[in-house]
């Protein structure tokens, strides 16, 4: 992962790459730089491989029976030229535009994805209850209401003497009243 330098110590310790600045635009810039560096390494390895395939057998004298020999002075010049080419290729990274999005891959458009409106609107019912005196009473009422399948959540308050139930579908008031009264409390009204 990537962490930003101003982040927490845990994030910095867990990250593979830590960006020193606190700008979010440095994340794609770091990715662009790493891709350019990897491409540069592959190019340098390719040219080093070609150089070694030709230069090492020639310097070792494999081609002497064919009349090809390598003067040590030309061998030293070839080694110097190889090093010069590798360094010059690596210095091309200075011309890399890190913040240019010209060569980035474009994201596919999401035309086929549509946000579906919710068919089932949440229904809220407020139940006025008599007999709740403590937090344990609140818990009993909450548990009794949430046992009904259409109740998605319930909150009870003994200080206000009410319980608010969110429903995913229509529930008869009789069913809510029965659930609360089976817990030992009296329902005064349901709105």
Q: Are 163 and 157 in contact (CB under 8 A)?
A: yes
The pLDDT tens digits for 35-71 are 999 999 999 999 889 888 988 888 888 989 998 888 8
Average pLDDT over residues 128-157: 91
Reported as type and span, the H/E element at residue 155 is: strand 151-157
Confidence of residue 119 (pLDDT cuts 50, 70, 90): low
**123-190 CATH fold:** Alpha-Beta Plaits (3.30.70)
The pLDDT tens digits for 49-58 are 988 898 888 8
pLDDT of amino acid 115: 59
When the pLDDT of each residue in the chain is averaged and rounded to a whole number, the result is 86
pLDDT above 70 for 12 = yes
pLDDT above 70 for 121 = no
Q: What does the alpha-carbon distance between residue 172 and residue 14 come to, in Å, rounded to a whole number? A: 53
Residues 6+ apart with CB under 8 A from 3: 11, 12, 14, 15, 17, 18, 19
In the chain, which residues fall in CATH 3.30.70.100?
Answer: 123-190
pLDDT of amino acid 108: 76
Q: Are 48 and 87 in contact (CB under 8 A)?
A: no
The pLDDT tens digits for 86-116 are 899 889 888 888 888 777 777 777 666 555 5
Collapsed DSSP state (helix, strand, coil) of residue 136: helix
Residues 6+ apart with CB under 8 A from 17: 1, 2, 3, 30
Stronger pLDDT, 10 or 135, i.e. the higher one? 135
Provide the token pair at 160.
């206000």
Q: What does the alpha-carbon distance between residue 161 and residue 5 come to, in Å, rounded to a whole number? A: 51
pTM of the model: 0.48
């Amino acid at each position: 992962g990537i962490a930003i330098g101003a982040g927490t110590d845990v994030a910095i310790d867990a990250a593979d790459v830590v960006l020193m600045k606190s700008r979010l635009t440095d994340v794609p810039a770091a990715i662009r730089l790493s891709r350019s560096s990897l491409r540069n390494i592959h190019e340098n390895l390719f040219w080093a491989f070609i150089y070694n395939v030709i230069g090492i057998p020639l310097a070792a004298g494999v081609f002497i029976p064919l009349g090809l020999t390598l003067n040590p002075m030309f061998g030293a010049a070839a080694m110097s030229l190889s090093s010069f080419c590798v360094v010059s290729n690596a210095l091309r990274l200075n011309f890399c535009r890190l913040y240019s999005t010209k060569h980035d891959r474009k994201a596919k458009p999401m035309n086929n994805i549509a946000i579906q409106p919710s068919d089932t609107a949440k229904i809220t019912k407020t139940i006025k209850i008599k007999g709740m005196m403590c937090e344990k009473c609140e818990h009993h009422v909450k548990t009794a209401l949430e046992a009904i399948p259409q109740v998605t959540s319930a909150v009870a308050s003994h200080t206000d003497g009410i319980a608010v139930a969110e429903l995913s579908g229509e529930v008869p008031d009789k069913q809510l009243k029965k659930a609360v009264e089976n817990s030992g409390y009296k329902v005064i009204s349901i709105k």
